[in-house]
Amino acid sequence: MISSTQRAQGALAALGIDSTRLAPYIDGHFQRDYTGDYCAVVDPATEEPLIEVADGQPADIDRAVASARASFESGAWARRRPSQRGQILNRIALTLRERAEHLAVIETLDVGKPHAEALADIEATARYFEFYAGLADKHGGRTVPLADHLVDFTLLEPIGVSGQIIPFNYPAQNTGRGGAPALAMGCSVVLKPSPDCPLNPLLIAAIATECGVPAGVFNVVPGGVDAGRTLSSHPGIDQITFTGSVATGKEVALAAARNVTPSVLELGGKSPVVVFDDADFELAIAGVSGSIFSNAGQTCAAGTRLLVQRSARGEEFLDLLVERARSLTIGEGIEGATLGPLVSKRQQERVAAYLEAACEGGGVVLTGGGVPDRKGYFVEPTVVEVPNNKHRLAQEEIFGPVMTVIRFDGLEEAAEIANDSEFGLSSYVWTKDIDKALSLAKRIRAGQVNINTFEVGTGIEIPFGGFKNSGWGREKGIETLASYTQTKNVCIGLNTALTR
């Protein structure tokens, strides 16, 4: 039986890494002679170590910011012709695709997700680089019509050094999501991945160098809270993109505000999934179960609150959902399981605490509700019906494979329940009635409304971000480019003596 350690070593060797330790990636290389501490990165499905990775400290962040700053000021990337930056980003996309299988193995072992999902993640990561490669030489300023004696235009300049802090759940995709647009606009980057899942961010930074991104432009420092705090409060960065929980996001925003550093916050969610009686159940059941059970529910935009219409058809839908949940195979993602583990023991314990509270206040567990007695940080796929939306399981972000079910009668009530949340990240509506679907779409307060669809790992082209406590700013799409550029206005007076 091949161990997780052997699998990781095999994939890393195929990716050109023959070391048993990965140091921070600064100034175009893994730091040689790194003297800091290392931590073992563990496969959450087997609890076996994969490789040791540096536990980056504030001094490492300082070094990375200095490197990013020097690379930015040199103009080697920021002042390069945008089409040439685009060519290099396209090369990164191509390389990611060529190495997709090995990178997906790493993603599966690092996060625990099913291999098919990891492959989709690597493709999405390649798409980020490809999409922003195409925009590098198309995102320009405008001319402003003023008085006859004036000519006015805007320049969109790279904002500078972008600090990026990402969570554990989509390390490859999040590296592309923030990294690719920043690079396309000419910024330099310091990215701090989660200490739980730092592997692909480090590997992608090395690929960027290999493909022609100059040294110092793309730095990755793995580390924990101290490293994160140092980055978000660093006076040497010009912008910060944070993806993670609401509590950490508030801290990051406060730290950034002290330096007047603009921030993008992509935070948590408790996204409603409204299923009307007239929905196409065959389509809906695949989408609804995908939206809660992919990545074992560890997705910010997961559809975690199922609002199902009170009727015989509604009952039928719930039966189908329970049946679907029971059909999932729990196990190692690398072996083809359809439900992997949670990322860590800590995350498993957190979700288990919610499961213990499930039956409080009238909650009824329809399926699952436990932690399987096996190695690895698994949680059973769970569906819990709660009496109303005030129940704790309907209000708090659980971040596990736990669907909360609430009944509704009509469209008005569905809208009220959907909006009764501190979050507003995403939402899903399933109905064949376009009138109902669009009426609800206009009422729901969330950054995204998905009607009769749920696509995992796609949507690079679509703006993404939250209302309310789910954050501010937008990533993805053309919209994110505003975060990585500064607008400079240039106004020219023409022969003013004659015209005044």
The least CB distance from residue 99 to ligand NAD, in Å, is 24
Q: Would you give the DSSP letter of residue 334?
A: G
| Position among 397, 400, 446, 476 found at the interface with ligand NAD (CB under 6 A) | 397
Q: Of 123, 266, 332, 385, which residue is the catalytic one?
A: 266
Of 240-248, 317-325, 351-359, 434-442, the segment contacting ligand NAD by CB under 6 A is: 240-248
| Position among 25, 30, 377, 399 found at the interface with ligand NAD (CB under 6 A) | 399
Q: Are 367 and 381 in contact (CB under 8 A)?
A: yes
CA-CA distance, 402 to 58, in Å (whole number)? 36
| Position among 244, 303, 424, 457 found at the interface with ligand NAD (CB under 6 A) | 244
Of 118-126, 160-168, 360-368, 490-498, the segment contacting ligand NAD by CB under 6 A is: 160-168
Q: Does 224 bind ligand NAD (CB under 6 A)?
A: yes
Q: CB nearer to ligand NAD: give 126 or 300.
A: 300
The least CB distance from residue 36 to ligand NAD, in Å, is 16
Nearest to 178 by CA among 229, 243, 259: 243
Residue 143, classified by CB atoms within 10 Å of its CB into exposed (0-12), middle (13-18) or buried (19+), is: exposed
The least CB distance from residue 216 to ligand NAD, in Å, is 22
Q: CB nearer to ligand NAD: give 136 or 165.
A: 165
Per CB under 6 A, which of residues 249..278 are in contact with ligand NAD?
251-252, 266-269
Q: CB nearer to ligand NAD: give 192 or 391.
A: 192
Nearest to 130 by CA among 96, 103, 156: 96
DSSP-assigned beta bridge partners for residue 49: 42
CA-CA distance, 309 to 276, in Å (whole number)? 5
Q: Does 423 bind ligand NAD (CB under 6 A)?
A: no
Residue 152, classified by CB atoms within 10 Å of its CB into exposed (0-12), middle (13-18) or buried (19+), is: middle
Of 7-15, 242-250, 319-327, 384-392, the segment contacting ligand NAD by CB under 6 A is: 242-250
| Position among 67, 162, 194, 480 found at the interface with ligand NAD (CB under 6 A) | 194
Which SS3 state, helix, strand or coil, does residue 93 take?
helix
Q: Are 113 and 295 in contact (CB under 8 A)?
A: yes
Q: Of 48, 187, 300, 385, which residue is the catalytic one?
A: 300
Q: Are 44 and 331 in contact (CB under 8 A)?
A: no
Q: Does 473 bind ligand NAD (CB under 6 A)?
A: no
CA-CA distance, 380 to 296, in Å (whole number)? 9
Query: 21 φ, ψ to 5°?
Result: -140, 145
CA-CA distance, 19 to 109, in Å (whole number)? 17
Tokens 């971000």: give the residue.
Answer: 465
The least CB distance from residue 77 to ligand NAD, in Å, is 25
Q: For residue 44, what are the CA distances in angstroms to 111, 143, 281, 447?
A: 7, 54, 34, 31
Q: CB nearer to ligand NAD: give 80 or 345.
A: 345
The least CB distance from residue 231 to ligand NAD, in Å, is 7
Please say if 211 is a catalytic residue: no
* Interface map 167-186 toward ligand NAD (x if CB under 6 A): xxx-----------------
Nearest to 248 by CA among 234, 272, 268, 276: 268
Of 64-72, 149-157, 163-171, 289-297, the segment contacting ligand NAD by CB under 6 A is: 163-171
Residue nearest to ligand NAD (CB): 228
Cα 13 to chain center, whole Å? 27
Judged by CB under 6 A, the number of residues near ligand NAD is 27
Please say if 266 is a catalytic residue: yes
Q: Would you give the DSSP letter of residue 330?
A: B
Q: Find the helix or strand (DSSP H, E) in which 73 lies.
A: helix 58-74
Q: Does 317 bind ligand NAD (CB under 6 A)?
A: no
Of 8-16, 165-173, 361-369, 484-492, the segment contacting ligand NAD by CB under 6 A is: 165-173
**What residue type is assigned to position 440 of the chain?**
L
CA-CA distance, 411 to 428, in Å (whole number)? 14
Nearest to 172 by CA among 114, 103, 245: 103
| Position among 175, 232, 289, 348 found at the interface with ligand NAD (CB under 6 A) | 232
* Interface map 281-310 toward ligand NAD (x if CB under 6 A): -------------------x----------
Question: What are the residue numbers of the active site?
Answer: 266, 300
Interaction site with ligand NAD (CB under 6 A): 165-169, 192, 194, 224-225, 228-229, 232, 243-245, 248, 251-252, 266-269, 300, 397, 399, 425, 471
